[in-house]
Amino acid sequence: MADLFVISGNQAAGKTTVANLLAERFPRGVHVEADDLQRMIVSGCRWPDISDDIDVATGRVIGEAGAQLTARLRNACLLSRSFVGEGFTTVLTDIIVGWRFQELMGNLAGVPFHFVMLRPSVEVLHQRERERASGSNEWEEHIEGGIEEMPHVGLWLDTRAWTASETVDEILNRRSEGLVGAQPR
């Protein structure tokens, strides 16, 4: 059976670059990017807005933005399961922090997968955002808080000193540490 990797991290952590390089290391590799699924909503798409879509008591994204975030993760997991079932090593990327980790576990119930959290320093995130010219990450504090609240499961990597290729090497060399959702043998 093919492997499933789930890569998370803050914005500018390197998820997309690392996922593409990781998928390319396999004879049959797929990258399922949750943001791409969000972009498939051509009418009524609601990207979360930090000032309008956060329940301050729980930290959850709510309303239409929350419903779409839930749908995109569910569909990313369905698509990933399908590719894995067809023998493709699959890498799913999304910002999976806080309460979303439990959603991920529910959506992948019964499927072993490798969970990887990319954790470059906040300074590195800021530098990458400047290089992207994408402006500041208004979600940074919220995402970092969600990461800190998560169970420390899977493979958590401080990637500040590594290239994307070195990060992929580390993921592959330590893949057993990232295994989540597997039945004990």
With CA atoms as reference, report the closest residue to 73 among 19, 150, 6: 6
CB 118 within 8 A of CB 8: yes
> What are 24-44's pLDDT values in tens digits?
999 999 999 999 999 999 998
Establish if 170 belongs to a structural domain. Answer: yes
Measured distance CA(157)–CA(171) in Å, rounded? 9
CATH label of the domain that carries residue 136: 3.40.50.300
Q: Does 185 reside within a domain?
A: no
Phi, psi of 33 (to 5 degrees): -100, 115
Q: What is the pLDDT of residue 126?
A: 67
Number of compact structural domains in the chain: 1
List beta partners, residue 6: 92, 115
CA gap 68, 126 in Å, rounded: 27
pLDDT class for 184, splitting at 50, 70, 90?
very low
Q: Is residue 69 part of a domain?
A: yes
Tell whether 76 is covered by a domain.
yes
Structural domain boundaries enclosing 89: 4-180
What pTM, to 2 d.p., does this model score? 0.90
User: What is the enclosing helix (H) or strand (E) of 81?
Assistant: helix 63-85
